[in-house]
Structure 1
Amino acid sequence: MLSDCTLNAALPAVAARPRDGGRRSLPARLTAWLTAAALALGPLAADAQQAKGPPTLRDAEIEQLLRDYTRPVLRAAGLEKQNIQITIINDRSFNAFVADGRRIFVNYGALLDAQTPNEIIGVLAHETGHLAGGHLAKLREQLSQAQTQMIIAMLLGLGAMVAGARSNSSGAGQIGAAAISAPQEAIRRNLLSYQRQQEENADRAAVKFLNATGQSAKGMYTTFRRFSEQILFAAQGSDPYTLSHPMPADRVAALEQIARTSPYWDRKDDPALQLRHDLMRAKISGFMDRPDTVRRKYPPGNATLPARYARAISTYRHGDLRVALAEIDSLIREQPNNPYFYEVRGQALLEGGKPAEAVAPLRKAVQLSGNAPLIEMLLGQALVASDNRAYADEAITILRAALAKEPEAVLGYTQLAMAYGRKGNYAEADLASAQAAYMRGDFKTARDLASRAKTRFAIGTPGWVKADDIVTTKPLPGQKN
C-alpha cells in the first residue's frame, strides 16, 4: 500500500533557544538575522520542520525491505536497540539525511535510482555513521556556540554604532558596522568546516560497518561517484571553505581509498535480495511514474517479475482494473506466498470501487505478512467500505491492533471512527476522529471533537481520559492551534 501521509512528530527547533529550556527575548531584527544565518548552514533546514513535517510515503513491502537492509548495519554500529526508523520522503531527488537521532530519512528517488541493494545500503550506512557519531548533538552544540558568538558580536557592534551616533563620529559607526559583519563569515566558515569533517567521519564509519557485516562498500562508492559527477559542474570554481560537504572529487577519492581495502570489495548482493530490490523499484515506478514512463522502463516484451509488477500497478492506477487483476493473478501464481501481491490485488479492488471483493486478498496479505499493521489498516478500510454491518466488529478489532503498532497512523484512526459510527458508538467515533485530527496537526478540530467525545463518555473512563488529554494538551512551540 504505497500511500501519502504526513510526518506529525515535531522536530526540535534550535534557533534562539537557550540551553536551560527557557526563552530569551531578542530584538525582532536580531531574531530574524539569526534565523536567516542558521538556515543558510543547511542542517537546520530539517531540524526546523514544523509539526506538519515533510510529505512522506508509507508501504509495508518497502519498509520491511529497508528494515532488512539496515538491521545488520545498526547492529554493527551498536544501535540495534535504539529503535531507529526509516522514513521515506515523497521527493524524486536523490537524497538521504538524519534529523533527530531517531530516524533516517530517504527520498523515494534514492530508492528508485539505486540499481542494487548494496548502493542504498551504503547510503543508509553513511547516515548510520552520523547517528553513531552523535553528529546532530555535536552540531547543535557548535551552532549554540556560534549563536552566542554572533549575539555578542551583534551587541558589541550595536553598542559601538550607538556610541558613534552620540559622538557624531562616523568612524566609530563604521567600526560598529564592521564589528557586526566581520565575525559572521569566520563563524560560518568554521561551522561549515566542522560539518565537512562530520561527512568524512560518516563515510569512514559506513565502510567500517559494512566490513563488519561482510558487505561491500562498492555500492556506496559507486553512488557517491555518480552523485559527484552530477554536481561536478556546479562545484567548479567553488570555494571549498564555503561548502558544507567535502569537494566531490576529494570525497570520492578518499572513499575509494578506504573502500578498496575491504576484503569484501567484490562481493555481490544475494540474488533473492536483488529481486526484492528490483520489485521495490518496480512498485515505486508503478505508483509514482507516468504510464508512458512505466511502459518505457518496463516494455510489454519484458516478462520479468518486476516488469509485470510495475505494469500491473500502473494499469490499475490508470483505469483498466480487469487487465491489471489478470496481471496480478499471474504474479500470485508465480509467488503464491508473497503477501504484497495479495495486498496490491486488494488495494486495486478497493480503489476500483469493489471493497467487498478486496477483503479476501487483504486477509491473505495480513496472514502472510505476519499481521503487518499497514496492511491491517487497508483490510480495515475494505471492511468498513463494504457497507456490511457484520464487518464492523472485525474492522474495529483489526484497526485497534494495527494502531497499537502504528499509533500515529491517521488512516487507522479515520477508519476506526467510521467503524464505530457504523455501530452507533458515537463516543468512540468522536474520539477516533479527534485522534486522527490531532495526528494531522489540526489541533482546533481535534480539541472540538475531543470536547464532544468527553460529553459522551462517563467521567473518568479510559475514553474520557484520552479525550481530556487531547483537549488539555498544548501544541508545541511553532505549532498552530
Structure 2
Amino acid sequence: MFDFIAAMSQCRAMTTIFRHGLRRGFLGALCLLLVARAHAQDAPKVSIIRDAEIEQLLRDYTAPIFKAAGIHSGAAKIIIVGDKSFNAFVADGQKIFINTGALVEAKTPNEIIGVLAHEAGHIAGGHLVRGRQELARATILSIAGMLASAGALYAATTSGAAGRRQGNLGVDSAGMAGIMLGPQEAVKRSLLSYQRSEEQAADRAAVKFLTATHQSAKGMLTVFERFANEAMFKSQTIDPYLLSHPLPTERISNLEAAAKDSPYFDAVDSPALQARHDLMRAKLVGFMGDAGDAARRYMSDNSIAGHYARAIADNKAGRLEQALAGADALIKVQPKNPYFWELKGQFLLEAARAEEAIAPLRKAAALAPAAAPIKALLGHALVATENPAYTDEAIRVLYNATQRDEDSPEAWEYLSMAYYRKGDEAKAQLAAAEGLFVAGKYVEARTQATRAKAKFREASQGWLRADDILNYRPPGSTDE
C-alpha cells in the first residue's frame, strides 16, 4: 500500500498541511495532496495536483466533448498528475488522468482538447472492462500509484531508455494491470494488441466528437506528430507487437486523413480561451518549475500570463513583498478573477499571515462559489489563525468543501481540527477517518472510524458512515 502516514507526518511539520514547504513554494491553490509510494522501493512517486482554476478550465474543455460522446459530465472526473512527461490516460471507467507536462507543453487549448477527446473515446467505447474489477473502488491516489508502478514495470520490458522516455495517450488500467498480472509473453502480446485496436478506435471517436462540437482535430494531430518525432519512435528495433499503441506513421496517416475531412479543420480557439490556457501554463511553470524555468519562459513576457508566472516565482524565491505586489497588480487588471484573489491569500497563508489571508480568500470563494479547493484553502486559513471566533465559519466552509468534493484530504483534515476546537469529538474523528480513507490509508481510517462510531447514536448518519468505513476492504486486501 502507500506510505501516507509518513508523507503526512513530514508535511505536518511545515506551515501548511500536505505540501512541501515554503522554500519549494508548492501549496495552497496548487496543492500537493500527498506523495504516494508504491510497494516497490524504486517505484515512481505519484502526486495528485488540486487547483480550482485548472480544474475549471479542463471541465470547460471537456463539457462539449462529453456531451457529444454521451458521457455524463457529473460522473466523469479529470485528475491532474504532477509529472513532467506528456501523458494522459483513463482509469476506473470515467477518470481521466492528465499530466502537468501535457498541460505545460501544449501551446493551444485545441491540443489539450484533442487529448481529452481521445480519452473520452476510451470512455465512450467502454475500453476499461478488463481493469474495472481491480480498480472499481480504488481511490484516485491508489489508481495513480498502481498505474505508476505498472508504468515502471512496462518501461523495463521495452527497449531501454527509449521505453522509459515514452509519452503516451490512453494508457489505461486494462493494459497495465494485464502486464503486471500476466507476465507470459503470449498474454502480454495479446493484451497490447487489444490496446492497439482500442487506441485506433479512440482516435476515430475523438475526431467524431471534435467535429460534432465544431472543433478542429489539428491539435490532436500536432500532439501525435510530436510523439513521432521523438527519438524512441525512430528506433527500428522495437517490436511493434510490444507497443500498446499503433505505430506512429500508421497512426498519423489515419488521423490526418480523418482530421482533414472535417469542415472544421481550420477552426481556431477563441482569444479568451487561449488567454485562460496561457494562464494555466504560466501557473504550472511558476509553481512546478525551477527558478530557471520561469526566467526562460516569462522573464521578458509582459502579458498577464507573464506577470502571473513571475509573481509565483517571486514567492517561491522568498520575495514575498514582490509577490504580493504582483498579485495586487493582477487583481487590479482583473478584479473579478477569483484565482488572482486566491493567489494573494495563498501567498499570505504561506507566510504564516493567516489572519491577513482570510479577506482575499473570502473574496475568491465568493467569486467562485463552486470551487472546493478555494474553500478548502479558506478553511485552512480560518483554522490556522487559532482564533476560536473563526471556528464556526471554518466548519461551515470546510463542510461545504467536502460535500462538493469528497476527495480532498486537506479539507477533511482541517474540518477535523475545527470540530475538535468546537468540542465535537465524534465529528472530528469521523472527519479524520474520511480524510485517511480518501488517501487510501484504510487501516488508520478504521482506527478513527471505530472511535467515532462509539460516540454516535446507533443508526445515525455519522454512525452509518463510520460503519461503512469499518466494513470496507480494498480489492485484493487480506487485511482483516
Percent sequence identity is 52
Please list, as runs of the form range in 1=range in 2, the aligned pairs for 1:12-411 lying within 5 A after superposition.
54-80=46-72, 83-137=75-129, 185-299=185-299, 301-411=300-410
Cα distance 1:125–1:472, how it changes in 2: closer, same or farther (>3 A)?
A: closer
After superposition, the CA RMSD in angstroms is 2.4
Q: Which has the larger radius of gyration?
A: 1
The aligned counterpart of 1:151 is none
Partner residue in 2 for 1:476: 475
> What is the one-letter code of the residue matched to 2:71?
L
* Letter in structure 1 aligned against 2:404: K
Paired amino acid for 2:206 = A
CA displacement at 1:235 relative to structure 2: 3.5
- Within a 5 Å distance, the mapping from 1:373-452 to structure 2 comes to 373-452=372-451
| Runs (5+) with no aligned partner, structure 1 | 9-44, 46-51, 142-182
Q: Which amino acid aligns with 2:70?
A: G
Cα distance change, pair 454–205 in 1 and its aligned pair in 2 (3 A): closer
Shift of the alpha carbon at 1:290? 0.7
Q: Is the 8 A contact 1:71 1:80 kept in 2?
A: no
Q: Structure 1 segments of 4 or more deviating over 6 A?
A: 138-141
TM-score normalised to structure 2 length = 0.78
- Structure 1 64/461 Cα, relative in aligned 2: closer, same or farther at 3 Å? same
CA 1:235/1:126 → structure 2, altered by over 3 Å: closer, same or farther?
farther
Shift of 1:138: 6.6
1:69-94 residue CA offsets vs partner (Å, 9 max, x unmatched):
01101111111356211111111100
**TM-aligned CA distance change 1:433 to 1:280, over 3 Å:** same
Q: What is the distance in 2 between the residues matched to 1:248 and 1:79?
A: 28
Say if 1:53 and 1:461 are closer, same or farther in 2 by CA, change over 3 A. Answer: farther
3-state DSSP of counterpart to 1:450: helix
TM-superposed deviation, 1:139: 8.0
The offset of 1:402, in angstroms, is 1.1
Shift of 1:321: 1.1
Q: 1:136-183 CA distances to partner (integer Å, 9 max, x unpaired)? A: 227889xxxxxxxxxxxxxxxxxxxxxxxxxxxxxxxxxxxxxxxxx9
Cα shift at 1:130: 1.1
Change (3 A) 1:405 1:480: farther
> Alpha carbons of 1:316 and 1:82: their partners in 2 closer, same or farther (altered >3 Å)?
closer
Native 8 Å contact 1:414 1:436 kept in 2: yes
Equivalent residues of 1:443, 1:480 under 8 A apart: no
- 1:213-264 deviations in Å (ceiling 9; x for gaps): 0001111101110111114555323232332211111211211111111111
> How many pairs were matched up?
397
State the TM-score, normalized to the length of structure 1: 0.78
Query: Match for 1:416: what amino acid?
Result: L
On the 8 A contact 2:118/2:202 being kept in 1, the answer is yes
2:30 paired residue number:
2
Deviation for aligned residue 1:192:
2.6
C-alpha change, 1:378 and 1:188, in structure 2 (3 Å) is closer
8 Å CA contact 2:92–2:131 kept in 1: the answer is: no
Where does residue 162 of structure 1 map in the other structure? none
Matched-pair contact (CA < 8 Å) for 1:235–1:247:
no
> What's the counterpart of residue 8 of structure 2?
none
Flag the 1:360–1:404 CA change in 2: closer, same or farther, 3 A.
Answer: same
AA of the residue aligned to 2:85:
S
CA distance in 2, matches of 1:473, 1:479: 12
Cross-structure match for 1:179? none
Inter-partner Cα distance in structure 1 for 2:191 and 2:386:
59
Distance 1:328 1:425 in 2: 38
> Secondary structure of the equivalent of 1:456?
coil
Post-superposition offset of 1:423: 1.9
- Deviation track 1:73-123 (CA, whole Å, cap 9, x = no partner) reads 111111135621111111110000112211111111100110000001001
Once residues 445 and 243 of structure 2 are traced to their aligned partners in structure 1, the CA distance between those partners, rounded to angstroms, is 43
| Secondary structure at 2:261 match in 1 | coil
Q: Per-residue deviation at 1:204? A: 1.1
| Residue matched to 2:162 | none
Partner residue of 2:15?
none
Which structure has the higher relative contact order (CA within 8 Å, separation 6+)? 2
Moved more, 255-264 or 63-72: 255-264
Q: Give how far 1:275 is off.
A: 0.3
CA displacement 1:335-364 (0-9 Å, x = unmatched): 011000001111111111100001110111
Closer, same or farther: CA 53–397 of 1 in aligned 2, 3 Å: farther
Judge conservation of contact 1:98–1:130 (CA < 8 Å) in 2: yes
User: Corresponding residue for 1:160?
Assistant: none
Unaligned residue ranges in structure 2 (runs of 5+): 1-28, 39-43, 134-182
> Structure 2: how far apart are the matches of 1:414 and 1:184?
44
Tell me by how many angstroms 1:54 deviates: 4.5
Q: Find the residue that maps to 1:4 and give its secondary structure.
A: strand
Preserved CA contact (<8 Å) 1:56 1:89: yes
